[in-house]
Amino acid sequence: MLTVLDVDNQRARDPAHAHRVAYMAAQPESELRYVVLEADAQSWAQARGAARIEHVAAPDPAQLAEQWSARLEAAAPQRLRSSRAWSELKSRLGPRLLAGDSARVLVSPRQVLELVQLYRPEVIVCGSPLLMPAWVQLASLRLEPRPALVGRAAGVEAPAWLGKLRWTEALTELAEQGAQQWTAQMLQRFDGVLVADEAVASALRQRGVERLLAVPAVELPRDEAGAGERERAVVLAREAEPGTLPGARRFAAELAWLRALAELRRRGERLAPGLHEAPETASRDH
């Protein structure tokens, strides 16, 4: 049986996520255990066929930003707090940093490490940029044999919250470039990165990410394309047959890649650099 751990700090921005979970849940339980990590208000577990959703307690972004601002204020010397430079720094790094984003996110690698130890996955899928790829690599070092690491990338864009910082244009551009380069460096160490667009593949190659795995794009109905329709997408995904789900071809290709990379890892091998077409088994729905 293949055990997969899927971690992503950007679930709320992925309207296809509910369909992916529904597809994986419908696979034979004797062949697949698909564990999904989701940030939530409290920790609890949910089982759905071959899928298990681990809801992990994560802070509210607005509250977290307020806490960071208070800690920054308490740690600063009185002389600095009364300066104009301090006021300017607070206006740039205070609650505005995260308050505009209502989605909860993990801010510590501890939960990822604990789930890796609990499930001992053969494959870890990471769909987030910046910190999560590094956490995944750290967690994988605790397992022997090491699991295959797979990225799910829409590109190497910098996190959206960087654009909320009221820096000068030059500093903002520098921060975004640094975030993009860091993300690319992390993905370079993965066993493969799932891509559904040639433009994304080209951007990743320019950043030095060489092991790219082609999968079909997810064609969602128009009324499900926005993040605001995510709850409706969840309902539709639960009611549909796996083969009729939007994105079924994509999810079949993803699963075929995960099986193939797990097998390569078991043999101590790695995929050659390049953009690889999906395995033949992905051409039919499972």
pLDDT digits (tens, 9 = 90+) for 146-176: 999 999 876 445 444 444 444 455 555 666 6
* 34 belongs to a structural domain: yes
**Who has greater pLDDT, 60 or 284?**
60
The predicted pLDDT at position 220 comes to: 61
* 7 belongs to a structural domain: yes
Strand residues in the chain grouped as ranges (E): 2-7, 32-40, 44-48, 51-57, 123-126, 148-152, 192-195, 211-214, 274-276
Residues 14 and 144 in one domain: yes
* 71 belongs to a structural domain: yes
H helix or E strand, kind and range, residue 206: helix 198-206
Total of domains in the chain: 2
User: Residue 57: is its pLDDT beyond 80?
Assistant: yes
The tokens 């990165």 sit on which residue? 193
34-56: pLDDT as tens digits: 999 998 889 999 999 999 999 99
User: How far is the first Cα of the chain from the last one, in angstroms, to the nearest whole number?
Assistant: 15
* 79 belongs to a structural domain: yes
Q: What is the domain range of residue 143?
A: 2-58+107-283
* 268 belongs to a structural domain: yes
pLDDT band at 225 (very low <50, low <70, confident <90, very high): very low
pLDDT band at 211 (very low <50, low <70, confident <90, very high): very high
User: Residue 5: is its pLDDT beyond 90?
Assistant: yes
Average pLDDT, the chain: 78
What residues form DSSP beta bridges with 211?
Answer: 274
pLDDT band at 95 (very low <50, low <70, confident <90, very high): very low
Residues 180 and 268 in one domain: yes
* 102 belongs to a structural domain: no
Across the range 71-78, mean pLDDT stands at: 75
256-268: pLDDT as tens digits: 999 999 999 999 9
Give me the CATH number covering residue 205.
3.40.50.11930
Q: Which of 44, 73, 97 is the last residue of a domain?
A: 97
* 13 belongs to a structural domain: yes
Residues 81 and 206 in one domain: no
What residues form DSSP beta bridges with 41?
Answer: none
The predicted pLDDT at position 103 comes to: 74
